[in-house]
Structure 1
Amino acid sequence: MTATTDSVTAFCAATRANDIDQLMTTLAPDAELVSPLSGRMVFRGHDDLRALLTTVYGGLKELTWQPVIGEGATRVAVSDGRVAGTTITDALVLELDDHGQIRRLRPHLRPWPATTVFALALGPKLVRNPGVLRRALRR
């Protein structure tokens, strides 16, 4: 169980430091992120997740995490950050594999106005990686 806690703790610390290399070590090889913005896009694999998470956490300022909730294979980490001068909150559900690495990330963003600002800031940056977007749209 220590490896599980360490993986989630390391993920949160890496996002605060915007250390994408460290963040990537917390993810399972087959990790995926279910988009909270589109509802149908799923970003899979280290290459696509690196591109996405670099854009996501590179655009957030003043990121803070509350203590992680849960035990076992599912955890919830709640963060607050700022994007374009507005505060955005994420209740991030993290599903872990048998080795304690993060297998699935399911962000839940709020409030709606901040989520809209976040989407408008993120979209143009992600368009620079059309292959990542195309693969995320596959089922």
Structure 2
Amino acid sequence: MTIASSDQSTAQGLVAAVTALRTAAENADGDAVADILAPDVVFHSPLSSRIRFEGADDVAALHRDVFAVLEGISTTEPLTRDDTAVFSFGGHVRGQKLDAMNMVRVNERGEIVESTIYARPLPALATLFAALPPRVTARRRGRAKGALVAALATPLGFAMRTADRFVPNFI
């Protein structure tokens, strides 16, 4: 295989993987995400740089959790270059509008090997922080630890939504 044909097959695999990921997100289908992940995939969270999710099983389970708390996901057409694509998506978490961007990298087989999410605005991201980690923790470590995480994370979401209502009036 020549370098040109290798690059072309990677580009085709990238488009196919991103199309499948966007479709899975819009249909809230975590099982479909599992089919396009490399075994050694790494997911970088927008919520904390201290945690990353590794492996197809863990990342697919995370997507099922995300799709359970993020409603009405819509995506845009991706921008692609080499083995990387970027697309934006939006949805609602507990009534808060979340806008985000996903940067995806694929391997030569067209499997997603890396995904990094960037999200805004801060009140919606804080609300996602209050909704998602308790669910993930309960799945991974049990309901009691999930409840503890909820108790720690929920005030942040409340504080950011409240500040967002009042602070702009003073700027």
In the superposition, the TM-score normalised over structure 2's length comes to 0.73
AA partner of residue 23 (structure 2)? A
Q: Note the 1:31-110 alignment, pairs <5 A.
A: 31-110=41-120
Q: Which amino acid aligns with 1:33?
A: F
Stretches of structure 2 that go unaligned for 5 or more consecutive residues are 1-10, 143-171
TM-score (norm 1): 0.89
* Partner AA of 2:28 in structure 1: N
Aligned Cα root-mean-square deviation (Å): 1.3
Greater Cα radius of gyration, structure 1 or 2: 2
Deviation by residue 1:88-127 (Cα, 9 ceiling, x = unmatched)? 0111110111111110010001111100001101121111
Moved over 4 A (4+): none
Tell me what 2:13 maps to. 3
State the identity %: 29
**Is there any run of 5+ residues in structure 1 with no aligned partner, and where?**
132-139
In structure 2, the partner of 1:136 is: none
Where 2:109 maps in the other structure, the secondary structure is coil
Point out the structure with the larger helix share: 2
- Matched residues, number: 131
- Higher RCO (C-alpha under 8 Å, 6+ residues apart): 1
Q: Deviations over 1:14-48 (max 9, x none)?
A: 11111112111111111110121111211001221
The 5 A counterparts of 1:118-129 are 118-128=128-138, 129=140
